[in-house]
Amino acid sequence: MALESPTLLVIGQKGQLGFELMRALQPLGQVVGVDRSTCDLADAAAVDNLVATLRPDVIVNAAAYTAVDKAESDQDKAYLVNANAVKALAQSAAKVGALLVHYSTDYVFDGSKASAYTEDDATSPVNVYGASKLAGEQAIAAELREHLIFRTTWVFGAHGGNFAKTMLKLAGARESLNVIADQHGVPTSAALIADVSAHIVAQYFAARNAGTASGTFPFGLYNLTAKGETTWHAYASKVIAEGIAAGLELKAAPERVHPIPTSDYPTPAKRPHNSRLSCDKLESTFGIRLPDWTVHVESTVKLLAELKQ
Ligand SMILES: NC(=O)C1=CN([C@@H]2O[C@H](COP(=O)(O)OP(=O)(O)OC[C@H]3O[C@@H](n4cnc5c(N)ncnc54)[C@H](OP(=O)(O)O)[C@@H]3O)[C@@H](O)[C@H]2O)C=CC1
Ligand SMILES: Cc1cn([C@H]2C[C@H](O)[C@@H](COP(=O)(O)OP(=O)(O)O[C@H]3O[C@@H](C)C(=O)[C@@H](O)[C@H]3O)O2)c(=O)[nH]c1=O
Ligand SMILES: [Mg+2]
Per-residue pLDDT for 164 more than 60? yes
* 99, β-bridge pairs: 58
CATH number, domain with residue 156: 3.40.50.720
Region 84-106: mean pLDDT is: 98
- Mind listing the pLDDT tens digit for each residue in 237-281? 999 999 999 999 999 989 999 999 999 999 999 999 999 999 999
Per-residue pLDDT for 214 more than 90? no
The verdict on residue 49 lying in a domain is: yes
- Mind listing the pLDDT tens digit for each residue in 284-303? 999 999 999 999 999 999 99
Neighbours of 76 (CB within 10 A): 11
Would residue 107 show up in a list of annotated catalytic residues for this protein? no
Per-residue pLDDT for 2 more than 60? no
Q: How far is CA 81 from the centre of its chain?
A: 15
The verdict on residue 244 lying in a domain is: no
The verdict on residue 266 lying in a domain is: no
Q: Which of 107, 129, 204, 222 is catalytic?
A: 129
**Atom 46 of ligand 1: nearest residue by CA position:** 105
Whether 193 and 103 have beta carbons less than 8 Å apart is answered as yes
Q: Are strands 188-189 and 155-156 parallel, antiparallel or unpaired?
A: parallel
The verdict on residue 304 lying in a domain is: no
Whether 231 and 153 have beta carbons less than 8 Å apart is answered as no
The verdict on residue 138 lying in a domain is: yes
pLDDT at 211: 84
Cβ(232) – ligand 2 distance below 6 Å = yes
Neighbours of 93 (CB within 10 A): 27
The verdict on residue 52 lying in a domain is: yes
Secondary structure (3-state) at 118 = coil
Grade residue 3 by pLDDT with cuts at 50, 70 and 90. Answer: low
Residue list, ligand 1 pocket, CB within 6 Å = 12, 14-18, 35-36, 40-42, 62-66, 81, 103, 105, 133, 152-155, 160, 190
Per-residue pLDDT for 145 more than 90? yes
Q: What are phi and psi of 218, to 5 degrees?
A: -80, 70
**Residue 128: domain span:** 7-161+187-228+271-291
pLDDT at 215: 77
The verdict on residue 257 lying in a domain is: no
Mean pLDDT of the chain: 96
The verdict on residue 275 lying in a domain is: yes
Region of 220 on the Ramachandran plot (φ > 0 left; ψ -120 to 50 alpha; else beta):
left
* Residues, the chain: 309
Number of domains in the chain: 1
To test the pocket of ligand 2, the residue of 74, 163, 224, 265 to mutate (highest count of ligand atoms within 8 Å of its CB) is 163
Grade residue 191 by pLDDT with cuts at 50, 70 and 90. Answer: very high
Q: Residue 243: name the closest of 257, 226, 259, 225 by CA.
A: 257
Grade residue 40 by pLDDT with cuts at 50, 70 and 90. Answer: very high
Q: Residue 103: name the closest of 147, 145, 150 by CA.
A: 150
ipTM of the predicted assembly exceeds 0.95: yes
